[in-house]
Structure 1
Amino acid sequence: MDGSNDELHNPLIIVEGSSIEADIDEITNCSQFVKEALIENKKLWYLAGPAIFTAIAQYSLGAITQVFAGHLSTLELDAVSTANMVIAGLAFGIMLGMGSALETICGQAFGAKQLHMMGLYMQRSWIILIVMCIILLPIYICGTPILSFFGQDQEIAELAGRFAVYMIPQLFAYGINFPIQKFLQAQSKVMTMAWMSAAVLVFHVFLSWLLMIRFQFGLVGAAISLNLSWWIVVLGQFAYIIMGYCPGAWTGFSWNAFHDLGAFARLSIASAIMLCLEFWYYMLLVVLAGRLKNAQIAVAAVSICTNLDGWEVMIFLGFNAAISVRISNELGAGRPRAAKFSILVVVITAALIGVVFLALVLALKDVYALPFTNNTEVAHEVSKLAVLFAITLFLNSVQPVLTGVAVGAGWQWLVAYINVGCYYIVGLPLGFFLGNKMDLGVQGIWSGMLTGVVLQTLILAGITLGTNWNKEAKLADSRIKNWGASVEPLVKHEQVV
């Protein structure tokens, strides 16, 4: 995993001059466009391929636990799904969102060759996220009354609340993990994360089977397996960094990490709000399903679809990470036209993959629930969602990419406002009305959710098309200078280790 030879193989290494801009300006016909698009695709897949695998592998830690729980009983499946989607999902969204601030500033610092700032940015993110973990502890401890307050079935609420308490160590793993990931992604060190995630995934499958099925430890075994797997990921990535594989970017712990925390916290909070509004949107589908007449069947059906949707979203979060790094690197290096071309190529690629997922769900509509449940009633309810679910998968191929553009450009607050309007003013109220008042059940809830996603995707596409990318490149340069000025002269003198 030696990173010393990265420059020999990395197609994303920043070079002097504006040859990339010149090549894009010379596109005058279809063949030239295809040629440049293939070059850009190579850069995107260099980042997206390992990032997709890493996202799927880490998401699968919780999803595989749900699969094993589903073969214990429907109630335990509901409890694990609710704890993962609602309580851990709340924390996951906040931690990932706040950590995503590093996609903007580390990516732009790397593009501007201000490598020494990246380690300090990561340490600032750790400080802010650990404080947030402490703030979130009451949600884990009081999971049962919180779920009951929102109308969740009492049996599900009690078991999910107990499982949430077991999962507190995972909360703090989130707080350390996501800043490390964004720090490594900004330097295109994505293969390291992929290999570590692969090894931990294999370990997690074996340990989950051993504890939950072989030794019959139930939810206690699930919690031990999940907590241990997440902390192995964290410690492995941190060991890679401190062993010297990020030269220039990691210069050791420094008291300077406590400088400029206010400005950094504002961007982190904006990132968290932007992503949390999306994660909570799907989380609240489970809560709405818990208020329907046949709650256990409805929650199981929605949980299976959101689980599968989560796997698909992880693929496109890989593209999200790739385009975020590409945009932030190109803007940081002052190449706005290259940034704009990257967006076009990744949107086309993601949409084509989305069509494949749509076709697969429609072709397998009667069987895609079977790995998750032995209950024929649950499987039938899932099959009724096939058309709506297929359309959701297609939209979720493009939407995370557009969000990645926003993160790379630093538009977190703007997207947060859009998400409030589309998801919480339109999508959720419509889903509640269709599902409960119009008695359309799970299909009504999902239809409302889908309406919000359609609206958000259209707005983000319009904003991206109308953006002045020359202005965004100037803003990136200003951000790097403002945030680096107070720390850069001190780095050499105030290291702790």
Structure 2
Amino acid sequence: MGEDITDNLLIREASAQGNRVDDKDEDLPLKTRVWNESKKLWVVAGPAIFTRVSTFGTNIVSQAFIGHISSTELAAFSLVFTVLVRFANGLLLGMASALETVCGQSYGAKQYHMLGVHLQRSWIVLFVSTLFLIPICIFATPILEALGQKDYIAEEAGYISLWVIPVLFAFVLSFTCQMYLQSQSKNMIIAYVSAVTIGIHILLSWLLTVKFKFGVAGAMVSTVIAYWLPNVCQLLFVLCGGCPETWTGFSILAFKDLWNVVKLSLSSGVMLCLELWYNTILVLLTGNMEDAEVSIDALAICLNINGWEMMIALGFLATASVRVSNELGRGSAKAAKFSVVVIVLTSLSIGFVLFLIFLFLRERLAYIFTTNEEVAKKVAELSPLLAFSILLNSVQPVLSGVAIGAGWQSIVAYVNIACYYLIGIPVGAVLGFLLHLQVKGVWIGMLFGTFVQTIVLIILTCKTDWEKQVTVARNRVSKWNVREDIGEPSPDT
């Protein structure tokens, strides 16, 4: 009973301290407050964006070298990484985002010793989840043949998918270490490692595929190394003193309260999976249309550009998650709201500039990737949709990051199901097939689904009682906290 009272007093004191900080910040000029928040924003956003662009570039480099081997290998590689790896990436990244919530809020609440425990809990949950994905890699050939892929492509894809197994386990360490370091605004190390890795990957791919003629095996060896090298560096940084406050060594306490981690990880996984798989549905629907080859080529160019820009959006998603979770954990409701406004406006400003650029470039974009005039013409038709996609991408992922920071993953998962799969895809199918708008109709429908989801998230964010969210965050931190002195979970508040 006495411990319960003590915990409640600590929570009230932290909230009161957060309010005093808010009051102090409100006395500053708006320009100064925006500048201070922007500095905190870019400490996380800069490295996060660079890291995601570099990681995206790893697959592009591998694809480029395999494309010079043969068209069959290129088709198999694209199939494996578009379907299998994207499926696993979405699931594991989504599950790892639960770590953003608990680490960010614990760090804001100055429960520094808990970040290492949360990291180890997430390793356990994601490692076990990855074990269930291995059969998909092993039986990729019969699975792809059952989905209607040609035998010779499915056979080659089955070989490449075996190389993907170590990549999946690399995701476990990569995603969790990134979330752990981001929550402390220490992710600059990730950017440095990513810059070195992409250079090594290009050199190693050239040596193994062009110089020594090892073919697909050489390209995949380089790919596996490119995914694992950053992990080794991140682990050495964490384990060898880079985070002295938050990493206190391996602990058996990581096996306690795993069910809570599993529940939050699953809801996070569903939330992000539904977003990351959305464009895959667009490609699958396009493949069943008239003149599918030209449509898919044009769509691939647009989605490739959209994918690069999406890395910027995902960087701001991570930033929103970190800033919101830190401020809620600190007990600062007003600071959390202010950070949301600054991050959304910053991302929207960048998105609007890119919107204008891609709206006016039109078919000139296509000639970077192809000399086919028919494909270029189709890209010109799709350019306005690409521009609007980029504009929506500048807002929607940021709001998803707010949801992760506040721990709303289960709510947003339902929003995503309704907006994407009950509104966007059906509307796209009607416009594309019944009204014969083809790929433009499918994309318009799916954009409409994203637009509806963005509006719902804006309303949800604006209507949120942030003082209540502070209480929820503090309760979560207290519930999952493990006392350093006696190694036992704290009593629930």
* C-alpha displacement of 1:120: 1.0
Q: Write the letter of the residue equivalent to 2:23.
A: A
Partner of 2:8: none
Quickly say closer, same or farther: Cα 1:371–1:226, change in 2 above 3 A.
farther
CA distance change for structure 1 residues 156 and 288 in 2, over 3 Å: closer, same or farther?
Answer: farther
Kept after mapping to 2: 8 A contact 1:328/1:409:
yes
1:127 matched to which residue of 2?
A: 124
CA distance in 1, matches of 2:221, 2:380: 33
Greater mean deviation of Cα atoms: 319-328 or 55-64:
55-64
| 2:367/2:376 contact within 8 Å kept | yes
Q: Residue 117 of structure 2 contacts residue 253 of structure 2 at CA under 8 Å; is this kept in 1? A: yes
Q: Could you list the per-position Cα deviations for residues 346-379 of structure 1 after superposition, in whole angstroms to 9, with x for gaps in the alignment?
A: 1111111001111221233223234444555444
Q: C-alpha displacement at 1:102, in angstroms?
A: 0.8
| Amino acid in the other structure paired with 1:346 | I
Structure 1 residues 100-128: Cα deviation after superposition (integer angstroms, max 9, x where no partner) = 11110000111111111111111111111
Of 33, 36, 39 in structure 1, the residue corresponding to residue 33 of structure 2 is: 36
Structure 2 residue 412 is the aligned partner of structure 1 residue 415? yes
The verdict on how the C-alpha distance between 1:483 and 1:184 changes in structure 2, with shifts beyond 3 A counting, is same
Match of 1:432 in 2: 429
Q: Runs of 5+ in structure 2 lacking a partner? A: 1-15
Query: How far 1:77 sits from its partner (Å)?
Result: 4.4
State the partner residue of 1:169.
Answer: 166
Task: State the secondary structure of the residue aligned to 1:366.
Answer: helix
Contact 1:67 1:372 in 2 (8 A): no
CA distance in 2, matches of 1:294, 1:144: 27
How far off is 1:457 after superposition? 0.7
1:93-492 matches, cutoff 5 A? 93-151=90-148, 157-373=154-370, 375-485=372-482, 489-490=486-487
Q: Which moved more, 1:406-415 or 1:368-377?
A: 368-377
Displacement of 1:62 in angstroms is 1.2
- Deviation, 1:334, is 0.4
Task: Write the distance in 2 (CA, Å) between the matches of 1:139 and 1:380.
Answer: 38
- Distance apart, 1:302 and its partner CA: 2.8
Secondary structure at the aligned position of 1:489 is classed as coil
Identity %: 45
> What secondary structure is seen at the aligned counterpart in 2 of 1:167?
helix
Pick aligned residue for 1:87 from 84, 87, 91: 84
Gap change, CA 1:215 and 1:284, over 3 Å in 2: farther
Q: Evaluate the alpha carbon distance shift between residue 415 and residue 301 of structure 1 in structure 2; reply closer, same or farther with a 3 A threshold.
A: same
Aligned residue for 1:490, secondary structure, equals coil
Q: What is the CA distance between 1:64 and its match in structure 2? A: 2.7
Q: TM-score, normalised by structure 1?
A: 0.89
Number of residue pairs aligned between Structure 1 and Structure 2 = 475
SS for the counterpart of 2:365 is coil
Identify the match of residue 46 of structure 1 among 23, 43, 67: 43
Provide the C-alpha distance between the structure 2 equivalents of 1:282 and 1:90, rounded to a whole number of angstroms.
12
Q: Residues of 2 paired with 1:293 and 1:216: CA distance?
A: 39
Instruction: Establish whether residue 64 from structure 1 lines up as the match of residue 61 from structure 2.
Output: yes
In 2, distance between residues paired with 1:395 and 1:408?
20
- What secondary structure is seen at the aligned counterpart in 2 of 1:368? helix
Contact 1:151 1:287 in 2 (8 A): no
Partner of 2:3: none
Structure 1 residue 301, shift from structure 2 partner:
3.0
Instruction: Verify the 8 A CA contact 1:67 1:371 in the aligned structure 2.
Output: no
Aligned-pair CA distance for 1:260: 0.7
User: What TM-score, normalized by structure 2, do the two folds share?
Assistant: 0.89
Give the whole-Å Cα distance in 1 for the aligned partners of 2:59 and 2:407.
30
> Given residue 100 of structure 2, which amino acid in structure 1 is its aligned partner?
E
Contact 1:78 1:299 in 2 (8 A): no
Cα distance in 2 between the residues matched to 1:166 and 1:269: 26
CA distance in 1, matches of 2:457, 2:105: 22
Q: Check 1:159–1:374 CA distance in 2 against 1; reply closer, same or farther (3 A cut).
A: farther
Separation in structure 2 between the aligned mates of residue 79 and residue 286 of structure 1, nearest angstrom: 16
> Which secondary structure state, in structure 1, belongs to the residue aligned with residue 132 of structure 2?
helix
Deviation at 1:37, TM superposition (A): 1.2
Whole-Å separation in 2 of the counterparts to 1:372 and 1:211: 25
How far the C-alpha of 1:441 sits from its partner, in A, is: 2.9
Give the 3 Å change call, closer, same or farther, for CA 154–365 of structure 1 in structure 2: farther
